[in-house]
Amino acid sequence: MGTYEGLQGIWVLCGVRDGQIDRVSRELLGEAERLGAVEGMKTTAVVLGREIPQIRGADHALVVQDDSLSVPEELRWTHELYHLVRRYRPQVLLLGANGFGRSLAPRLAARLGTGLTADCTALDMRDGLLVQTRPAFGGNLMADILCPDARPQMATVRPRVFRAPDWEAARPCEILREPPAGPDTLSRLVEITGFTPSGQDAAIGEADILVAVGQGIGSKENIAMAEKLAELMGGALAASRPLVDGGLVPYAHQVGQTGRTVAPRLYIACGISGAIQHLAGVAAEKVVAVNIDPDAPIMERANWAILGDCGAFLREMVDLYTTSPPSVLPDRHSK
C-alpha cells in the first residue's frame, strides 16, 4: 500500500490491440511526456486486461490483471479505474477518443464527479492546468476548456492528433501491479454475448489512408473502384452521408457528423462536395479532392485538388498500382 508520489501526475488509459498497446494510447503517452515535462509531472500508463502487453514510454505502468477483464466493457472498466483514481489521485487522465473511450470516459467522470472534455484535438499545460482544445459546432468553432478545481482533469483525445513516438526507442517503465477491485453489482448487469467483426469497414477510424466517396462519384462501378484502390493502398473505403443513406455503402463507412470522425494521414475525397457536416468528421493530415465542380467547398480544404471525373481518376490510380512496377513509373524530375 502506500501512495506513490510519482503516480499523481498524468495518466493515460492504454488500450490493447493485437497483443500490443494500441496506437492512440502510444500517441497519448508521447503527448503526456511532453505535457509532464512542462510541469515536472510524471507519467503513468494504466493498463487493464487478462493479458498485459509490453508497456513502455512512461515513468510508471499501473497494471490490473484479471480473467474478468478479458473484454473491454465500460461498467467493469469504470469500477476498476474509479478505485485506481481514488487511491492515487492523478492530476490528469487521458483516454483515446475511440468508441470505447468516449463511452467509458463520461461514465467514469460522472462517478468521480470531475470534469471531462470530449474529443480534444490539442492539449497544453498552463499554470498547472490542462488546456483542452476541442472543436464544436461541427468544427466551426474551437474551444479551449479548463477543469480548474476538480481532479483528475479528464479528456478524450482524437486518434492521430499526436504523433506516436518511436516505440522501440521508448523508455521502459516501472511496473506496479494492483489487485482487481473485482466485478461490482452494476457491471454484472451487462454481459457481452457475441462479436461480429465488420471486416475492413470497421477500420475507417484507424486507417492511415481513406479513399472516400460522395454523391459525385458517378456510379456503383466507381465505388467498387474506390474500394479496390483503398485496398491496394492499404487503406479503407469511406463515404459521405448521401451514399450511406442511398444504401450504396454500409453505415460503418460513414464519415461526418452523423457518422464517424476519422483522422487518417491521407484522405482522398472522390466526388465529395465537402458539406460542413462531412468535413466535421475529417481530421486528416492531408486531403486530396477529386471533383468535377471547381466550386465544391472541399476544393478549398484540400491540399491537392484534381479537377476532373472521379471514375477516370480512380481507374488510373488503380492502374498505377496494379500494372506499373515502381521502377517503370516515370520520374518527372529525371529525364
Partner 1 sequence: MRIYACVKQVPANNETRLDPVTGTLIREGSPGVLNPLDAYAVEQALRLKEQYGGEVSALSMGVPGVRDMLRRVVALGVDRGILLTDRAFAGSDTLATARVLAAAVNKCGMPDLVLCGRVASDGDTAQVGPMLAECLGIPHVSDVACIEEIARGEARVRRLGDRGYHSLRVRLPALFTVLKEICVPRLPSITGVLRGEKAAIAVWGRADLGSLEGGVGLKGSNTRVLRSHRPDLRVKTRAVAGARDLMDILREENLIAEDRVRGDI
Partner 2 sequence: MVQIKAMEPQYAAYLHDESRLMGSARYIAFPDSLSEVVEAVRWCGDRGVPLTAQGSRTGLSGGASPAGGLILNLSRMDRILGIRKDEAGNCYLRVQPGLPLLRLRNALKNKAFDISGWSEKDIEVLRELKAGEWVFPPDPTEPTASIGGMAACNACGARSFLYGSIRAHVTELVVVLADGRTARLRRGSERARGRQVRIPLREGGVFEATLPEFDTPTVKNAGFYIHGDMELIDLFMGSQGTLGIIGELELKLMRAPGHLWGVTAFLPGDEAALSYVEALKDMAHKPAAIEFFGHRALAMVERQRTLTPAFARLQELPEDYGCAVYVEFNDEDNSAMLHDLEELAGLLKQVGADPGDTWVARDQEELEKLLIFRHAVPETIDLIVEKNKKREPIITILSTDMSVDDGHFRELFRMYKEDLSASGLDWVIFGHIGENHVHPNILARTADEYRAGLALFEKWAGEVRRMGGTITAEHGVGKIKKRLEHILYGAEKMGELALLKRSFDPLGLLGPGNIIPKEGEDGCASTRA
Give, as ranges, the residues between 110 and 139 that touch partner 1 (CB under 8 A). Answer: 110-111, 113-119, 131, 135-139
Site for partner 1 contains 181 (CB under 8 A):
no
Q: Which does 221 bind (CB under 5 to 8 A by kind): partner 2, partner 1, none?
A: none
Which residues from 85-104 bind partner 1, rule CB under 8 A?
A: 98-100, 102-104
1 binds, among partner 2, partner 1, none (CB under 5 to 8 A by kind): none
Among residues 72, 69, 47, the alpha carbon closest in space to that of 58 is found at: 47
What is the distance between the alpha carbons of residues 118 and 105, in angstroms, rounded to a whole number? 9
| Distance of closest approach, residue 174 Cβ to partner 1, in angstroms | 30
Our CB check for partner 1 shows the closer of 141 and 169 to be: 141
Q: Does 288 bind partner 1 (CB under 8 A)?
A: yes
- Quick check: 334 binds partner 1 (CB under 8 A)? no
Spatial contact of 147 and 120, defined as CB atoms under 8 Å apart: no
**What's the maximum distance between 2 C-alpha atoms anywhere in the chain?**
72
Nearer to partner 2 among residue 71 and residue 312 (C-beta): 312
Number of chain positions touching partner 2 (CB under 8 A): 5
- Which is nearer to partner 1, 65 or 277 (by Cβ)? 277
CA distance 327 to 335: 14
Q: Which residues pair with 237 in a beta bridge?
A: 211
148 in contact with partner 1 (CB under 8 A): yes
- Determine which residue in the list 37, 38, 175, 186 makes contact with partner 1, applying CB under 8 A: 186
Q: Does 19 bind partner 1 (CB under 8 A)?
A: no
Query: Which of 77, 32, 90, 88 is closest to 56 using CA atoms?
Result: 32
Separation of alpha carbons 265 and 286, rounded Å: 6
Q: How far apart are CA 147 and CA 319, in angstroms?
A: 53
Chosen from partner 1, partner 2, none, partner binding at 183 (C-beta under 5 to 8 Å by type): none
Helix or strand holding residue 16 (H, E): strand 16-17
Can you tell me the distance from the alpha carbon of 214 to that of 292, in angstroms, rounded to the nearest whole number?
A: 12
The 232-261 site mask, x for binding partner 2 (CB under 8 A), equals -------------xxxx-------------
Q: Residue 295 binds what, of partner 1, partner 2, none (CB under 5 to 8 Å, by partner type)?
A: partner 2
Cα–Cα distance between 64 and 162 in angstroms, integer? 26
Among 29-37, 59-67, 215-223, 299-307, which window interacts with partner 1 (CB under 8 A)?
A: 299-307
310 near 288, Cβ under 8 Å? Answer: no
Three-point CA angle 173, 14, 34, nearest 5°: 60
Question: Residue 33 or 119: which CB sits closer to partner 1?
Answer: 119
For residue 3, the minimal CB distance to partner 1 (Å) is 23
Q: Could you say which of partner 1, partner 2, none residue 37 binds, taking C-beta under 5 to 8 angstroms by partner kind?
A: none
Cβ proximity to partner 2, 101 vs 242, nearer residue = 242
Q: Which three cell numbers stand for residue 328?
A: 517503370
Other C-beta atoms lying within 10 Å of the C-beta of residue 260 = 17
Cα distance between residue 335 and residue 331, in whole Å: 8
What is the binding site for partner 2 (CB under 8 A)? 245-248, 295
